[in-house]
Amino acid sequence: MTNANNYDLVLTGGRVFDPGRGVDSVSDIAISGGRIARVAAAVDTSNATRTVDVSGKLVTPGLIDLHTHVAGGLGKVADEGSFLAADLAGVNSGVTTVVDAGSTGSYNVGGMINHVVPESKTRVIVFINTGVLGIHKNPEIRDESDIDVEHSIATVQASEHIRGVKVRMVSPSVQSMGIELARKAKAISSGAGVPLMVHIGDIPEDHPKAAAAAPALLTDVLTAGDIVTHTCSHHVGALLDNGKLRPEAQTARDNGVRFDVGVGRANFSFDSARAVMDQGLIPDTISSDVTVGGRLELVHGQIESMNKFLALGLSLEDVVKMSTANSAESLGLSDSLGAIEEGREADLSVLEIVTGNWIYRDPTGGTGTGEKALVPVFAVRAGEIQPLDYGPRPWGWLPESAD
Ligand SMILES: [Zn+2]
Give residue 207's pLDDT band: very low, low, confident or very high (50, 70, 90).
Answer: confident
| pLDDT tens-digit readout, 346-390 | 999 999 999 999 999 999 999 999 999 999 999 999 999 999 999
Indicate whether this model's pTM tops 0.95.
yes
Residue 121 predicted with pLDDT over 70 = yes
| pLDDT tens-digit readout, 20-77 | 999 999 999 999 999 999 999 999 999 999 999 999 999 999 999 999 999 988 887 6
Give residue 114's pLDDT band: very low, low, confident or very high (50, 70, 90).
Answer: very high
Orientation of helix 179-192 relative to helix 209-216, angle to 10°: 40
Using the mean position of ligand 1's atoms as its centre, give its distance from the Cα of residue 158 in Å.
23
Q: Tell me the average pLDDT of the chain.
A: 96
Q: Which amino acid is at 16?
A: V
Phi, psi of 40 (to 5 degrees): -155, 160
Helix (H, G, I), strand (E, B) or coil at 159: coil
- For residue 294, the model assigns a pLDDT of 93
- For residue 73, the model assigns a pLDDT of 87
CB atoms within 10 A of CB 206: 7
Using the mean position of ligand 1's atoms as its centre, give its distance from the Cα of residue 124 in Å.
15
Distances (CA, A) of 107 to 131, 220, 320: 9, 29, 35
**What contacts 145, CB < 8 A, 6 or more positions away?**
none
Do 346 and 16 touch, CB atoms closer than 8 A? no
Using the mean position of ligand 1's atoms as its centre, give its distance from the Cα of residue 140 in Å.
12
If you average pLDDT over residues 211-217, what whole number do you get?
A: 94
Using the mean position of ligand 1's atoms as its centre, give its distance from the Cα of residue 67 in Å.
6
Using the mean position of ligand 1's atoms as its centre, give its distance from the Cα of residue 289 in Å.
5
Using the mean position of ligand 1's atoms as its centre, give its distance from the Cα of residue 70 in Å.
10
Using the mean position of ligand 1's atoms as its centre, give its distance from the Cα of residue 238 in Å.
14
| pLDDT tens-digit readout, 262-277 | 999 999 999 999 999 9
| pLDDT tens-digit readout, 280-337 | 999 999 999 999 999 999 999 999 999 999 999 999 999 999 999 999 999 999 999 9
Length of the chain: 403
Architecture of domain 62-330: Alpha-Beta Barrel (3.20)
Give residue 253's pLDDT band: very low, low, confident or very high (50, 70, 90).
Answer: very high
Do 157 and 150 touch, CB atoms closer than 8 A? no
Query: Residue ranges of the domains in the chain?
Result: 62-330
**Does residue 128 come out as left (phi exceeding 0), alpha (psi in the -120 to 50 range) or beta?**
beta
Using the mean position of ligand 1's atoms as its centre, give its distance from the Cα of residue 57 in Å.
31
Give residue 4's pLDDT band: very low, low, confident or very high (50, 70, 90).
Answer: low
Using the mean position of ligand 1's atoms as its centre, give its distance from the Cα of residue 378 in Å.
25
Using the mean position of ligand 1's atoms as its centre, give its distance from the Cα of residue 396 in Å.
24
Using the mean position of ligand 1's atoms as its centre, give its distance from the Cα of residue 349 in Å.
23
Residue 79 predicted with pLDDT over 80 = no
Using the mean position of ligand 1's atoms as its centre, give its distance from the Cα of residue 101 in Å.
6
DSSP one-letter string for 193-249: T--EEEE--BSSTT-THHHHHHHHIIIII--TT-EEE-TT--SBTSSEETTEEPHHH
Give residue 1's pLDDT band: very low, low, confident or very high (50, 70, 90).
Answer: very low
Residue 169 predicted with pLDDT over 60 = yes
Using the mean position of ligand 1's atoms as its centre, give its distance from the Cα of residue 192 in Å.
21
Using the mean position of ligand 1's atoms as its centre, give its distance from the Cα of residue 402 in Å.
29
Check the CA dihedral 200-204-207-208 and report its sign: positive
Helix (H, G, I), strand (E, B) or coil at 357: strand
Do 294 and 288 touch, CB atoms closer than 8 A? yes
Alpha helices in 112-178 (DSSP H): 117-119, 149-158, 173-177
Residue 80 predicted with pLDDT over 80 = no
